[in-house]
Amino acid sequence: MSAAVGAGGNSVLRHARHVVAENPVTGFALGLFVFFVLAAILGPSLAPYDPLASNTANALQPPSAAHWFGTDQIGRDIFSRVLVATRLDLGIAAASVALVLAAGGFAGLAAGFFGGWVDMVVGRIADTIMAFPLFVLAMAIVAALGNTVPNIVLATAIINFPLYVRVARAETVQRREAGFVDAARIAGHRDMGVLLGQVAPNILPIMVVQMSLTMGYAILNAAGLSFIGLGVRAPTPEWGIMVAEGASFIVSGEWWVALFPGATLMVAVFCFNLLGDGVRDIVDPRRRT
Amino acid sequence: MTGQIGNAPRDFAADPLLDVAELSKRFPLARRGWLGGRAPAMVHAVDDVSFTLGRGETLGLVGESGCGKSTLVRLIARLTDPTSGSIRFNARELAALPARDFARDADRARIQIVFQDAGESINPRFTAADAIADPLRKLRGLRGAALQAKVAEAATLCGLPLELLDRFPHQLSGGQRARVGIARAIAPRPDLLVLDEPTAALDVSVQVTILQLLVTLRETLGISYVFVSHDLNVVRLLCDRVVVMYLGRIVEVGPARAVFDNPLHPYTRGLIAAVPRLDGLRAGGLRLAGDPKSPIDPDPHACRFHGRCPVGTDRCGTEMPALRRFPGSRQAACHFATEPA
Amino acid sequence: MTAILDVRDFSVEFRTRSGIVHALDRISFQVARGETMALVGESGSGKSVTAYALLGLLDAAGRITGGSATLEGVELTQASPKELARIRGARAAMIFQNPRAALNPIRPIGRQIADVVRRHAGLSRRDADARAVEMLREVGIPDPARRFAAYPFELSGGMCQRVMIAIAVATRPALLIADEPTTGLDVTTQAVVMDIIQSLAAETGMATILITHDLALAAERSGRIAVMHAGHIVEDAVTAELLAHPRHPYTRRLLAATPTAAGGLADLRAIPGSLPDLRRTDLPPCRFAARCEQRLPACEAPMAWRHLAPAHRVACWNPA
């Protein structure tokens, strides 16, 4: 009884273990996710070389025991650079996803719950964003506001905004008439209380799945902006720039300069997409036994 | 446990807990355009409804789907604002208070609802304990150990084993969920409990235990019930008086036993005749064919039952029958209703 | 009387994540031409599973594990999906609890009836349309020629159920399975819908299985009642006999829990205990035994039917 009110932490863990045990793909994705998070946290201290230290005498060396991923055109260790870049790439993606979850999620909730003019205003904003090719819109935002990390985060969040609004709104509309909404009013909750305390926890699982899926997209978007020169600037280690810099060497046979950051980027995106399904199984209480 | 049919007639009218007068609720069918324009068509969900509920009384509310029961319940529970009319609760006028502010009103705790589908009305993200604790926290301001104690007390009153309290609704059986729904509603100790088809989703064997629980709670806590159900046999078991609604209007009111044994209104007769009976007897074989008329802008001068009524005449198409009084504290809205023999 | 439907030792299992659910265990019953038999039981008793399994409509997790079921001499358990589909349209029909969901929302109702008639009776388009209008009239829909073009959302629940009935009986099937056909409808509409089903059955000699949780409805509308509990048929008798002399303890319990027009709440008794977990591998021969007050040591023995009267059988070692 003491743990009864607001309980359930323990059973979530137990359930998560059950889901992972049952679905090896989720386990694999989860393993990759942990690996990336550790790389993001510990990367700089684990990197064998200074990611910015150039050594022109050692430029464009293929992978070897000393340089696992080889070296780039000015002799920097690619493995160290890929490792250190994890924090920046994942950080940008995570920040933008958190931002859009808060803004888009709330806007969608309010639109679905209140309807009327709130719905109309939110809907028009989302439609306006949707009217642009999203990557071009992101480019325009960064170009207009300046090439800084916060602006990349903002641009990535903005282009994901309509998606979050739509999902949150659709899920809210479904639950607006649910019995528990009336029950909450009877229990003394006002509109905001019902919205945030009752409806929001119910759409959170769907939003978390959405986050996992858009996380991959956000990484790709941030790297893409850097790739075309509108994102993080050289010489900062970042996967997109590294692919861009390495691209010109592929023709001359130095494939490793672009391949390793590119492959890492791909695996990261893949990991978050796979994770989406597993996360849905974990956060949905109805699947808990 | 008392289980007398329809209960003994008591004088509840002297000290009404709830006094509803000329209550109406109309919904616009379509929202008006940007520039105003013509007045939209109105759905007359509840139309000129008046009744009282005594302290400790159980009032049954019956009628077909679309008769306005649900809207009336939402009006009484102050989840919806009436278009006109008055709702006096404990001699205080509540109709004028906007529904959206009523959540913080002192009387919020005194009017509670047990919802139709307990599974659907408990937030799937909340445990049973969370669900029961919610109104206590918001309406009674309880926290910590005092809250835990009250949750446990409400659960115990409703026959809910405490070890079930940390379960989620989907982990409970239908009967257990119904008990959670009832425990949540009685936890803040309301004076008026609206029971909206509380046993509709339950098997008969479980239904019995829930009905018995409701009778016990009524006696131990002294709550008044408004009991909404489409199952007339269940209404008969629990209610002192019944209100029969048809297309937004009250067609008959009276002591449950009298109304069921000797209905005055032809609609009530048809309704009762349609209830399947275990003994297989067909009471008169009266059939109400067809569907109710449209509730959109109905003719204010015609009886709502006109056209479907087996006894009506042309007069019913031009003159709306008023709710007339009959002996035995009964009322019926029919030109042709006669005193029970 | 010859049985149109003859079900013997019919068993169904469901494979789920948490084990095998023994949903139906060797149930047997016969339905004769023109007869209305009610399958009565609480949720989880297996009444709907019986209907779905007979017509080959089980979902992928379910399978028939034994027994036989013949409809007009055709073995249903051995029929190919294609044969079953043909039988479902032409010889056996089913109506469901939620008629609106069972109708195609974007096709006029008359067209939906005509589709079935054309597929199974091979009529021309014009003849099928005429037949559809005729069917709408037969199920008591006013102004059928105009309603032909109506969409499901324009009709009330009772009207939608009538359309479902029209679709079901358009091909003059030998068997109609009505799975909670009036649950969710008002009592007044229920009475009308049941009248229609009964008069169609009387006219065409169609056998009807009425699946319901409402003993009173079964009492009024069926000639015979089979009571189901946890995947078994526990008692099967002519309606009047079953109501007057219920012999199985569960039937007696069910009757004692059903509100009547005469009794009070104090006269009603709840049924103690709950259904056994049908995933158990050690289910007892009598699945009611754990809840039964008349349990004997003999109840551990394999269950056998006792024939108490020509049309009354009970699966109990110690009937009342």
Q: In this complex, is the C-beta atom of B3 within 8 Å of any C-beta atom belonging to chain C?
A: yes
Chain C, window 127-166: residues with a beta carbon less than 8 angstroms from a chain B beta carbon: 140, 142, 156-159
Burial of C147 (C-beta count, 10 Å sphere; 0-12/13-18/19+): buried
pLDDT at C50: 95
Domain tally, chain A: 1
**How many CB pairs below 8 A link A and B?**
104
Q: What span, in angstroms and rounded, lies between the C-alpha atoms of B209 and C290?
A: 19
Nearest-Cα distance to chain B for A37, in Å, is 29
Nearest-Cα distance to chain B for C39, in Å, is 15
Structure tokens at B41: 């068509």
At B282, is the pLDDT very low, low, confident or very high (cuts 50, 70, 90)?
low
In this prediction, residues C96-116 reach a mean pLDDT of: 89
At A21, is the pLDDT very low, low, confident or very high (cuts 50, 70, 90)?
confident
Residue A62 placed within a domain: yes
Q: Which of C191, C215, C262 sits opposite B287 (nearest CB)?
A: C191
Structure tokens at C26: 């060797």
At B12, is the pLDDT very low, low, confident or very high (cuts 50, 70, 90)?
low
What is the percent of chain B where pLDDT is above 90? 60
- The DSSP code sequence of A256-286 is HHHHHHHHHHHHHHHHHHHHHHHHHHHH-GG
Nearest-Cα distance to chain B for C5, in Å, is 26
Residues of chain C found within 8 Å of residue B282, distances taken between Cβ atoms:
220
Q: What span, in angstroms and rounded, lies between the C-alpha atoms of A225 and B295?
A: 59
Nearest-Cα distance to chain B for A200, in Å, is 10
At A1, is the pLDDT very low, low, confident or very high (cuts 50, 70, 90)?
very low
Residues A254-270 as b/e (b if ≥16 CB within 10 A, e otherwise) read: bbbbbbbbbebbeebbe
Could you list the residue range(s) of the whole structural domain that residue A220 is in? 50-287
- Continuous segment of H or E residues that includes residue C179: strand C175-179
Cβ within 8 Å of residue A283, ≥6 positions away: A204, A205, A208, A209
CB contact under 8 A, B103 and A1: no
Could you check whether the bond before residue A235 is cis, i.e. omega within 30 degrees of 0? yes
Q: In this complex, is the C-beta atom of C73 within 8 Å of any C-beta atom belonging to chain B?
A: no
Residue A13 placed within a domain: no
Residues of chain C found within 8 Å of residue B289, distances taken between Cβ atoms:
140, 192
Mean pLDDT, all residues of chain B? 88
Looking at residue B210, its amino acid is I
Nearest-Cα distance to chain C for B274, in Å, is 5
User: Where along chain C do its domains lie?
Assistant: 3-100+173-222
Q: What is the CATH number of domain C3-100+173-222?
A: 3.40.50.300
Q: What CA dihedral angle connects A7, A9, A12 and A14, to 10 degrees?
A: -110
User: Where along chain B do its domains lie?
Assistant: 243-341
At A6, is the pLDDT very low, low, confident or very high (cuts 50, 70, 90)?
very low
CB contact under 8 A, B3 and C267: yes
Residue A169 placed within a domain: yes
Q: Which of A179, A191, A201 sits opposite B125 (nearest CB)?
A: A201
Q: What span, in angstroms and rounded, lies between the C-alpha atoms of B270 and B289?
A: 10
| ipTM at complex level | 0.87
Q: Which of A226-230, B117-121, B191-195, C17-21: highest mean pLDDT?
A: B191-195
CB contact under 8 A, C261 and B205: no
In this prediction, residues C302-315 reach a mean pLDDT of: 89
At B13, is the pLDDT very low, low, confident or very high (cuts 50, 70, 90)?
low
CA-based end-to-end distance of chain C: 29
> Three-state secondary structure along chain B?
CCCCCCCCCCCCCCCEEEEEEEEEEEEECCCCECCECCCCCEEEEEEEEEEEEECCCEEEEECCCCCCHHHHHHHHCCCCCCCEEEEEECCEECCCCCHHHHCCCHHHHHEEEECCCHHHHCCCCCCHHHHHHHHHHHHHCCCHHHHHHHHHHHHHHCCCCHHHCCCCHHHCCHHHHHHHHHHHHHCCCCCEEEEECCCCCCCHHHHHHHHHHHHHHHHHHCCEEEEECCCHHHHHHHCCEEEEEECCEEEEEEEHHHHHHCCCCHHHHHHHHHCCCCCCCCCCCCCCCCCCCCCECCCCCCCCCCCCCCCCCCHHHHCCCCCEEECCCEEECCCCCCCCC
Residue A60 placed within a domain: yes
pLDDT at B62: 94
Nearest-Cα distance to chain B for C84, in Å, is 33
Contacts 24+ apart (CB under 8 A), B151-158: B151/A4, B151/A5, B151/B187, B152/A1, B154/B183, B154/B184, B154/B186, B154/B187, B155/B128, B155/B129, B155/B179, B155/B180, B155/B183, B157/B183, B157/B186, B157/B217, B157/B220, B157/B221, B158/B182, B158/B183, B158/B186, B158/B213, B158/B217
pLDDT at B155: 95
In this prediction, residues B100-110 reach a mean pLDDT of: 90
Between B36 and B259, residue with greater pLDDT: B259
pLDDT over threshold 80, residue A278: no
Query: B233-254: per-residue pLDDT in tens?
Result: 899 999 999 999 999 999 999 9
Q: Which of C187, C221, C261 sits opposite B230 (nearest CB)?
A: C187
**How many CB pairs below 8 A link B and C?**
126
List, in sequence order, every residue forming a beta bridge with B228; answer none if it has no partner.
B61, B196
Query: A170-211: per-residue pLDDT in tens?
Result: 999 988 888 889 899 998 898 888 999 889 988 888 888 888
Q: What span, in angstroms and rounded, lies between the C-alpha atoms of B158 and B169?
A: 16
Interface probe for B, chosen from C187, C195, C291 (most Cβ of B below 10 Å), is C187
Closest to A36 measured CA to CA, from A226, A280, A278, A267: A267
In this prediction, residues B309-334 reach a mean pLDDT of: 91
Q: Which of A4, A201, A202 sits opposite B129 (nearest CB)?
A: A4
Nearest-Cα distance to chain B for C117, in Å, is 27
At B322, is the pLDDT very low, low, confident or very high (cuts 50, 70, 90)?
very high
Which other chains touch chain A, taking contact as 3+ CB pairs less than 8 Å apart? B
Mean pLDDT, all residues of chain C? 90
Q: Which residue of B has its CA nearest to C256?
A: B205
8 A C-beta contact, residue A54 and residue A117: no
Query: C133-188: per-residue pLDDT in tens?
Result: 999 998 988 889 999 999 998 888 888 999 999 999 988 999 999 999 998 888 88
- In eight-state DSSP terms, residue C95 is E
Nearest-Cα distance to chain B for A112, in Å, is 17
Looking at residue B256, its amino acid is A
Torsion sign, CA atoms B168, B170, B175, B177:
positive
CB contact under 8 A, B166 and A189: no
In this prediction, residues A42-71 reach a mean pLDDT of: 81
Instruction: Give the other-Cβ count within 10 Å of C64's Cβ.
Output: 19
Q: Which residue of C has its CA nearest to B212?
A: C265
Q: In this complex, is the C-beta atom of B171 within 8 Å of any C-beta atom belonging to chain C?
A: no
Q: In this complex, is the C-beta atom of C219 within 8 Å of any C-beta atom belonging to chain B?
A: yes
Q: What span, in angstroms and rounded, lies between the C-alpha atoms of C91 and C204?
A: 12
8 A C-beta contact, residue C246 and residue C239: no
* CA-to-CA dists, residue B279 to A4, C30, C314, angstroms: 47, 25, 21
pLDDT at A8: 45
8 A C-beta contact, residue C193 and residue C154: no
Residues of chain C found within 8 Å of residue B285, distances taken between Cβ atoms:
none
In this prediction, residues B146-152 reach a mean pLDDT of: 94
Q: Which residue of C has its CA nearest to B292?
A: C156
* CA-to-CA dists, residue A199 to A47, A168, A203, B81, C117, angstroms: 45, 10, 7, 22, 47
Lowest mean pLDDT among A45-49, B206-210, B273-277: A45-49
pLDDT at A4: 39
Query: B23-56: per-residue pLDDT in tens?
Result: 999 998 765 555 555 677 889 999 999 999 999 9
CB contact under 8 A, B184 and A187: yes
Cβ within 8 Å of residue C15, ≥6 positions away: C21, C61, C62, C63
pLDDT over threshold 50, residue A289: no
Interface probe for C, chosen from B171, B197, B208, B261 (most Cβ of C below 10 Å), is B208
Q: Which of C156, C188, C221 sits opposite B274 (nearest CB)?
A: C188
pLDDT at C54: 94
pLDDT at A3: 37
Phi, psi of C12 (to 5 degrees): -135, 140
Looking at residue C8, its amino acid is R
Identify residues of A whose CB sits under 8 angstroms from chain B CBs.
1-8, 178-180, 182-191, 193, 198, 201-202, 285-286, 288
Pick left, alpha or beta for residue C46 (phi over 0 → left; psi -120 to 50 → alpha; otherwise beta). Answer: left
Q: In this complex, is the C-beta atom of C320 within 8 Å of any C-beta atom belonging to chain B?
A: no
pLDDT at A2: 38
Q: Which of A2, A8, A190 sits opposite B127 (nearest CB)?
A: A8
Q: In this complex, is the C-beta atom of C244 within 8 Å of any C-beta atom belonging to chain B?
A: no
* CA-to-CA dists, residue C265 to B159, B214, B262, C250, C257, angstroms: 18, 11, 21, 19, 9
CB contact under 8 A, C187 and B1: no
pLDDT at A274: 85
At A284, is the pLDDT very low, low, confident or very high (cuts 50, 70, 90)?
low
Q: In this complex, is the C-beta atom of C195 within 8 Å of any C-beta atom belonging to chain B?
A: yes
Cβ within 8 Å of residue C89, ≥6 positions away: C116, C119, C120, C171
Instruction: Say which CATH number the domain at A99 has.
Output: 1.10.3720.10
Q: What span, in angstroms and rounded, lies between the C-alpha atoms of B63 and B61?
A: 7
Q: Which of B139, B148, B162 sits opposite A188 (nearest CB)?
A: B139
Residues B263-280 as b/e (b if ≥16 CB within 10 A, e otherwise) read: bbbbbbbbbbbbbbbbee
At residue A11, the 3 state secondary structure works out as helix
At residue C309, the 3 state secondary structure works out as strand
At C19, is the pLDDT very low, low, confident or very high (cuts 50, 70, 90)?
confident
Backbone Cα Rg of chain A: 22
pLDDT over threshold 60, residue B4: no
Structure tokens at C308: 């108490």
Nearest-Cα distance to chain A for B223, in Å, is 17
Nearest-Cα distance to chain B for C217, in Å, is 5
Interface probe for B, chosen from A1, A2, A5 (most Cβ of B below 10 Å), is A5
